[in-house]
Amino acid sequence: MEFTQHSAYRVPTKRPLLLKELRSRLPSADDRVRAFLGYGDPTEYDAIADALYRVFITARNLAPARHSTNCSIHPYGPVDPQSPQGWGQCLFCNSNRRIGDPRARQEVQNTPLQYEVPPPPYTHEALLARMRQINEVVFELNFRSPEEDFALTADLVHGAFIIARELSRPRSSSRCPRHPGAPLDPDAPGGPRCLFCTIAERRGGAPPPPQIRDRPRRSFPRRQPPGSPS
């Protein structure tokens, strides 16, 4: 008697329902974006940002989980609020690096921490281009798609949400493409300019990466048992 061989692959739990939910929410958000012929009012982008955030929640549930610290040793540890440039986000590992613990130099395999944040400028054309990418990726998704495709979908949707959120901010008269809602610096050279850009120019770029110094360890005297000759 012959038995048919079945594949060992099993569809993850809730993936069919989440994939159906993703494809039902995405067209509504896409129609809202395409309803504008150009720049809309910031208040109109509030509804777009809300719709894209709901799409992102579904895409995030489809994608592999991401830890908060980007650390394979302490994945659920506290996040360092003052993490130096070039270091990770784990407070425990950064504390060991600051005191010169040589064990903190060991390289660990990290998983992506944050979802993609596209660089400025944030424009309506950039949002339209991002929506086209999302539609192409979601069209190719199926139950057997690799985890990398679902992670890419979550990154793209999160980027679209960031663009819509920045477009929903009140716009100032600075007309800065990097910081649309930034205040003006009246004393900037050449007239009033974006305050954030002028501060970055005065600082002269990013600070250099921190240097790790080994802290010498103290050698303790060897304890002798009581009654032994000194």
Tens digit of pLDDT at every position of the chain (230 positions): 455 555 566 767 788 899 999 999 999 999 999 987 766 677 888 899 999 999 999 999 998 877 667 677 777 778 777 777 777 778 888 888 888 776 665 544 445 557 888 888 888 999 999 999 999 999 999 888 888 999 999 999 999 999 999 888 876 666 676 776 677 787 777 777 888 888 877 777 554 555 555 555 555 566 666 666 65
Decide if 217 is inside a domain.
no
Decide if 190 is inside a domain.
yes
**CA-angle at 77, arms to 76 and 80, nearest 5°:** 130
Question: 199 and 124: one domain?
Answer: no
**Are the beta carbons of 86 and 207 closer than 8 angstroms?**
no
Decide if 39 is inside a domain.
yes
pTM greater than 0.85 (yes/no): no
Decide if 10 is inside a domain.
no
| Per-residue pLDDT at 108 | 47
Question: 61 and 121: one domain?
Answer: yes
State how far Cα 226 lies from the chain centre.
59
Decide if 220 is inside a domain.
no
Question: 102 and 125: one domain?
Answer: no
Decide if 60 is inside a domain.
yes
| Per-residue pLDDT at 224 | 63
| Per-residue pLDDT at 104 | 64
Decide if 5 is inside a domain.
no
* Alpha-carbon span 29 to 49, nearest angstrom: 9
What is the greatest pairwise CA distance in the chain? 93
Question: 34 and 105: one domain?
Answer: no
| Per-residue pLDDT at 79 | 77
| Per-residue pLDDT at 211 | 53
| Number of domains into which the chain is organized | 3
Give me the residues paired with residue 193 across strands: 185
* Alpha-carbon span 103 to 95, nearest angstrom: 12
Question: 103 and 128: one domain?
Answer: no
Decide if 6 is inside a domain.
no
| Per-residue pLDDT at 109 | 47
Question: 26 and 135: one domain?
Answer: yes
Domain holding 109, by residue range, is 67-113
Question: 157 and 131: one domain?
Answer: yes
